[in-house]
Amino acid sequence: MRLTVIGSGDAFGSGGRFNTCFLLETAKGTLLVDCGASSLVALKARGVDPNAIDGILLSHLHGDHFGALPFLLLDAQFLARRERPLLIAGPPGTRARLDQSLELLFPRSSTNEWRFSWKVMEIEVARPTEVLGHGVTTTEVLHYSGAPSTAIALSDGDKRFAYSGDTEWVDALISVADGADLFMVECFAYSGKLPGHISWDVLKPRLRDLRARRIMLTHMNPIMLAHLDEVRAAGAFVAEDGAVIEL
């Protein structure tokens, strides 16, 4: 399994980083994990062909994690001229939110006659689910998005990838990360306890509880980005746009 960081930014483009988007090339296919608002631009900047993506897996329904979908779908329709099917898998509520987003940004687009088939799979929280041949289990976390916000554990039968999504610290992250070859964890802030997000203050003493082979921080605000030396000194990794990680 190979992960390419397409976007490791927060919602605000801190550090010039693109919104959250990870490209996963696995034994079963090619997936995007999250597809934040800037992701179509970021994919093209990286030379990734959107038509090569088999499916998109969403942690939660915030614009910086799913907001590129209307653009990606319309690109597939009009420019990339996609012919292969596309699966969009996300938490309960994904279909309605995606239709609303399409309609808000491009009126009448939700009723397009699509040249390719795409469908939405709403993943029941905590129920092991197969997504394009991958074993996927989601865990509800603590982050308001108008629908369940989730952490994700994914296996292709060989390697395991885990991702916190956006959340403040919840002990459930320990089991999400358990046995993962890579655990991507959000660390929005440097210090303090804030609603809906993790800070380095909170995460650092928890690193020893996370039994993943590698832990990589993502979704950092400017103050956190100014303290990355502390992350590396603690033995964790830092996501960088364009980085490629072999799991």
Question: Which chain residues interact with Zn ion by CB under 5 A?
Answer: 62, 166
CA dist 160 to 3, 70, 105, 115, 183, Å? 11, 29, 36, 34, 9
CB of 143 to Zn ion, least distance (A): 6
Residue with smaller CB distance to Zn ion, 122 or 166: 166
CB of 219 to Zn ion, least distance (A): 8
CB of 68 to Zn ion, least distance (A): 14
Rounded to 5°, angle at Cα 187 from 44 and 50 = 15
Tokens representing 17 are 């980083």
Query: 38: helix, coil or strand?
Result: coil
Residue with smaller CB distance to Zn ion, 166 or 181: 166
CB of 85 to Zn ion, least distance (A): 28
Region for residue 76 given its phi and psi (left: phi exceeds 0; alpha: psi -120 to 50; beta: otherwise): alpha
Query: 176: helix, coil or strand?
Result: helix
Residue with smaller CB distance to Zn ion, 60 or 160: 60
Residue with smaller CB distance to Zn ion, 166 or 241: 166
